[in-house]
Amino acid sequence: MKQRLIWFLVSLLIFSSLSIAGAYGATLGTGWGWTLPGHYNPYVPGYIGFGGLIEEPLAYYIRVSDNFLPRLAVKWEETPSKVTVHLRQNVFWHDGEPFTSKDVVTSFLIGRLFGWDVWRYLKDIKAQDNYTVVFLLDPKQPNIFVTRWILTVRPQPDHVWGNLLPTNIKTLITKNDEKQLGEIRTKIMAYRPEKPVGTGPFMLKSITTGEALLDKFPKYWQASQISIDSVRVYRHLAAEASWASMFAGEIDYEWPGSPPTIQEEWLKRSGNKMVLPSDVSFYGLYFNCDRYPLSIKEVRQALAYAIDRKEVTQVALPVGTPVDVPTGILLEVVDKWLPKDVQKDLNPYSYNPDKAESILKSLGFKKDQEGWTTPKGTKFALEIITPAGWADWARQAENVASQLGKIGIKVDVRVID
């Protein structure tokens, strides 16, 4: 029996490093979400791109080890005044055109029109030759993330997008001529390519409202290491759709957040596997500090005491445990940014609903059978917004609302697309 593998909570898949049981030349099944009708313009919402399957960045950034995996770039040098990127040669776009420095320059110039953060720290970008790009930095705006922002960009082909830029685009950018730049931006947003053109291991063959078929790109620069001839991508916008595909035997790997019942049922079937690596992210409850009474620090602290983070974690991932101290920094890299002696001095906000109520009362909040009233005389009610399609997030939001409800704080959960 062909083994099927489900990945939970995995955010990045690189096919050159994927090992999966099965015959050479097989069609791999997976799930993805894309909106309808969809299009192939990466600069506006609704883009259908299939990530690293079709497109590649200059390099992947590996957060835990804090290093890069070269892809379209093979090496780079950094100085206080510039970042020089050397591109991989003998790389081709899916339509057969060669990949060069011109593609990178055009991509970044368009990125300037759409407010890419990296441009706050760049003075200019130049193609030194066909395979070398020089990013000139603004010495008045140093930033340790500039190189990462540069390398993680997924370039678009100049022969598809370059003709949408005027020859004096750099002059317009230097002058910050927003009127003309806005007109160019509008033209780019309206453009609809016939298909996505990438340099990745697979290229789009066909697509319907329910699935897409990607074929192996024979001229891919690592084609000899790709043992799969095609990928069938089922359109999944919710975990429930992924589960249905899993149990129907349609997919070989997926990463939907799933409750214990789904996990247990999956593993009962012969050949199925589940792995639980970190995807270098975490769940969190984020406050809108501009809204009263969340603008009061002590109110936020009271809410932190009122939430049993262990219970919330178990709701989403039974094998998971909450961090000891909720710093808001990824567990894998927190030691890099916060020395351990600093972490020891931070408040762990251990579960203490009585303390939560005490803090609110000390601020002038009043509680009765109807709930809490703020010092301004308004009802203390909250709303948690959570994205649709992620069952684990929705369960956690409902759990937080339930816990706060136990101490009299009314909380509504709103699920949005």
> DSSP string covering 74-94, please?
EEEEE-SSEEEEEEPSS-B-T
Answer whether residue 286 is part of any domain.
no
Pair 354, 395 in one domain: yes
Instruction: Tokens for 410, please give them.
Output: 């009314």
pLDDT number for residue 25: 61
Please report which residue ranges of 50-120 form alpha helices under DSSP H: 101-113
Last-in-domain residue among 166, 190, 214: 190
Question: What is the number of structural domains in the chain?
Answer: 3
Pair 65, 165 in one domain: yes
Task: Give residue-wise pLDDT tens across range 162-183.
Answer: 999 999 999 999 898 999 999 9
pTM for this prediction = 0.77
Nearest by Cα to 170 from 235, 224, 112, 245: 112
More confident residue, 177 or 23: 177
Pair 129, 25 in one domain: no
Last-in-domain residue among 141, 170, 190: 190
pLDDT number for residue 151: 98
What gap in Å lies between CA 238 and CA 288, rounded to an integer? 27
Q: Is the pLDDT of residue 14 over 60?
A: no
What is the average per-residue pLDDT within 353-371? Answer: 97
Indicate which CATH number applies to the domain containing 16.
Answer: 3.40.190.10
Answer whether residue 147 is part of any domain.
yes
Answer whether residue 287 is part of any domain.
no
Preceding amide of 142 cis, omega within 30: no
Q: For Cα atoms 333, 336, 338, give the angle at the middle one, nearest 5 degrees.
A: 105
Pair 163, 88 in one domain: yes
Last-in-domain residue among 190, 220, 238: 190
Answer whether residue 292 is part of any domain.
no
Q: Is the pLDDT of residue 5 over 60?
A: no
CB 365 within 8 A of CB 292: no
Task: Give residue-wise pLDDT tens across range 255-306.
Answer: 887 777 888 899 999 889 988 777 777 788 999 999 999 999 999 999 999 9
Task: Give residue-wise pLDDT tens across range 379-388.
Answer: 999 999 998 8
Pair 410, 340 in one domain: yes
Indicate which CATH number applies to the domain containing 61.
Answer: 3.90.76.10
Q: Is the pLDDT of residue 1 over 60?
A: no
What is the average per-residue pLDDT within 234-251? Answer: 91
CB 241 within 8 A of CB 31: yes
Q: Is the pLDDT of residue 2 over 80?
A: no
Answer whether residue 283 is part of any domain.
no
Pair 167, 271 in one domain: no
pLDDT band at 24 (very low <50, low <70, confident <90, very high): very low
Burial letters for 4-34: b for 16+ Cβ neighbours within 10 Å, e otherwise?
Answer: bbbbbbbeeeebeeeebeeeeeeebbbbbeb
For residue 85, give its domain range. 55-190
Mean pLDDT of the residues in the chain: 90
Pair 223, 305 in one domain: no
pLDDT number for residue 97: 98
Pair 210, 185 in one domain: no
Pair 262, 317 in one domain: no
Answer whether residue 195 is part of any domain.
no
What gap in Å lies between CA 339 and CA 51, rounded to an integer? 35
Lowest mean pLDDT among 22-26, 298-302, 308-312: 22-26
Task: Give residue-wise pLDDT tens across range 54-112.
Answer: 999 999 998 878 899 999 999 999 999 999 999 999 999 999 999 999 999 999 999 99
Pair 168, 63 in one domain: yes
Pair 122, 36 in one domain: no
Answer whether residue 282 is part of any domain.
no
Pair 64, 180 in one domain: yes
Answer whether residue 280 is part of any domain.
no
What is the average per-residue pLDDT within 198-209? Answer: 96
What is the average per-residue pLDDT within 42-62? Answer: 94
